[in-house]
Amino acid sequence: MDVASIYYLGVTFLLFALFAVIVGRTYNRRDREKKEAPKYRMMDED
């Protein structure tokens, strides 16, 4: 495996790690109401 492939793989893992952080933050139980609030706020009259 050459350096370019390792770098490529590294970027891929980094992206997956970033995605995992986003999932973790989005589904954090403590923030549940806050994270769902926009769907109620957008229902206000235009």
Partner 1 sequence: MGQQEGYADDVVKGFIIWSIVWGLVAVLLGVLISLQLAWPQLNFPPYFTYGRLRPIHTNAGIFGWGIGSFMAFFFYITQRLTRTRLWSPKLARFQLCLFNVVIALAAITLAMGMNRSKEYAELEWPVALLVVVLWVIFSVNIIMTIVKRREEQMYISLWYIMAALVGVAVLYLVNNVGIPISLTKSYSAYAGANDANVQWWYGHNAVAMVLTAPPLALFYYFLPKSTGVPIYSHRMGVIAFWSLIFMYLWTGAHHLLWTPVPDWVQTLAMAFSIMLIAPSWGAVFNGYFSMNGQWHQMRDNYLVKFLIFGITFYGLQTLQGPSQAVRTFSGFIHYTDWVPGHVHMGTLGWVSLVLFASIYYIFPRLYGREIYSVGMVNLHFWLAVIGQLIFSISMWIAGVQQAAMLHATNPDGSLHYSFMETMIELYPYWHARAFGGVIYFASLLVFIYNLIKTATSGKPAPVAARP
Report the candidate in 31, 38, 42 with the shortest Cα–Cα distance to residue 23.
Answer: 31
Structure tokens at 33: 């109401």
Distance CA 24, CA 37 (A): 18
Among 6, 11, 15, 17, the residue binding partner 1 under the rule CB under 8 A is: 15
Among 7, 9, 22, 30, the residue binding partner 1 under the rule CB under 8 A is: 22
Task: Tell me: does residue 35 bind partner 1 (CB under 8 A).
Answer: yes
Structure tokens at 24: 């973790």
- Least Å from the CB of residue 15 to partner 1: 6
C-beta of 2 vs 45, nearer to partner 1 = 45
